Amino acid sequence: MNAFWYKLSTAFELALSSIMAHKLRSFLTLLGVIIGVSSVVLVGAAIEGLGNYANQTTSKAFGSESFLIAQIANVGKMTRKERAEKLRVNKEIRPEDLAYLRATTGDQMLYSPYRNRNDDVKYKENTFENASIIGTAAVLPEIREVITTEGRFFTEQEEQNRQYVCIIGVDIAQKFFEGASPIGKMITIRGHSFLVVGLQEKLGNAGGRSQDGSVYIPDSVFTRIIGPSRSISLFARPRPESGLNLDQGLDVVRAALRTRFKTRPGAVDNFDFLTPDSIRAFIDQILGLIGAVIVPVTMISLVVGGIVIMNIMLVSVTERTREIGIRKSLGARQADILLQFLIEAVFLSVLGGLMGLALGYGMAKALSLAFEVDLEVTPFYVFLSVFVSTAVGVASGWYPARRAARLDPIEALRSE
């Protein structure tokens, strides 16, 4: 055992002295591995960060315990044929259906209509174009995570009395009031004046579009100023006191709607629903596809780095042929020479991997601060980058090391 450790330490010292004797060449050799590892780490951090950001955004915009019921509620793209089929088969969700659900399952479930239309919002001479006007119920904050940082949400009494009150998003508040409190101010929607009673917390972007350009108004007022809708969407969640979880609450609503729409036993639902889990699964699928494509592409640079290491090691073997001959003449075996050059190649690749890991981590933190997105460096990508860089060192160093080990000592000593 002592002899083995002696040989290993000797091989390591020889490899290190060779690397230190050619610092610039060694650094240039490392560049391919450094770039490859840092790319893998940075891409992995971006994928994890985007996944976390998407889940947080979904939770804020959709709710963690709520689900959506609609004639068509789909995540991802649908073909024209699929959409036409859903419109043909699925029933429209009407206000009467909401009333039925409240009457039959209201002791277990909370419901809120959710209607949306894009329109301009005005304040004095300023106009916020294409705001999202949302007609909903006063109970929505109990169903979804609609949080106000100033003021409040409108009340059930204001909804029933059809009062012109609203809650606005951060983008609208910044454009109209430039940092001042919007509470108590009057804005105009479709020629009607609305009293601002609340400011929603900042949600950020989702899918490249800001979620902070919304205006929440009572559904009764939405119907009055925009008109009734043929089909509405419903947000629902179990009442906390009911003891139902999300899946159980969804079963309650599905059973009630299947009865309402006279759906035959065994037939598929003739309405759609959307849950937070289905959205997260879709996001994870997209990010998984991105990772499956991008990560192997970034690893190409590691392969290039391995080729560079192999070429430099072959040059090193040629330069040190006489040294190899002297070592062999003094009793060094093929295994000793093989170990020396293999350790040198692995040391180069591992050192490059660690430097690439540090560079990738630093770039991830810098981009997180610059773009206010949390790029998370996970242990999986750290392990992947170090493992691959080590494997590259073994693979690229094996052939030059074996070639050095097989040199004839007499011929090596004749080399100049």
Please tell me the distance from the alpha carbon of residue 101 to that of residue 110, in angstroms, as a whole number. 10
Residue with tokens 């906390």: 240
What size, in residues, is the chain?
A: 416
Q: Which of 144, 41, 84 is nearest to 361 (CA)?
A: 41
| Cα 242 to Cα 142: distance, rounded to the nearest angstrom | 14
The list of the chain residues with pLDDT below 70 reads 1-4, 6-7, 11, 57-63, 75-77, 205-208, 372, 410-416
Query: Residue 207: its pLDDT value, please?
Result: 58
Residue 322: the pLDDT is 77
Q: What is the rounded end-to-end Cα distance, in angstroms, of the chain?
A: 37
What local confidence, expressed as pLDDT, does residue 60 receive? Answer: 65
- Strand-pair category, 148-151 with 126-136: unpaired
What's the whole-model pTM score? 0.70
Q: What is the pLDDT of residue 133?
A: 96
Give residue 172's pLDDT. 96
Supply the pLDDT for residue 391.
80
DSSP strand pairing (214-218 vs 165-168): antiparallel
User: CA–CA distance from 205 to each of 155, 170, 193 (Å)?
Assistant: 28, 12, 28
* C-alpha to C-alpha distance for 59 and 61, rounded to whole angstroms: 6
Q: How many CA atoms lie within 13 A of 405 on its CB side?
A: 17
Listed residue (360, 406, 114, 126) closest to 234, CA to CA: 114
For residue 159, the model assigns a pLDDT of 95
| pLDDT of 194 | 97
Q: Please tell me the predicted confidence (pLDDT) of residue 412.
A: 59
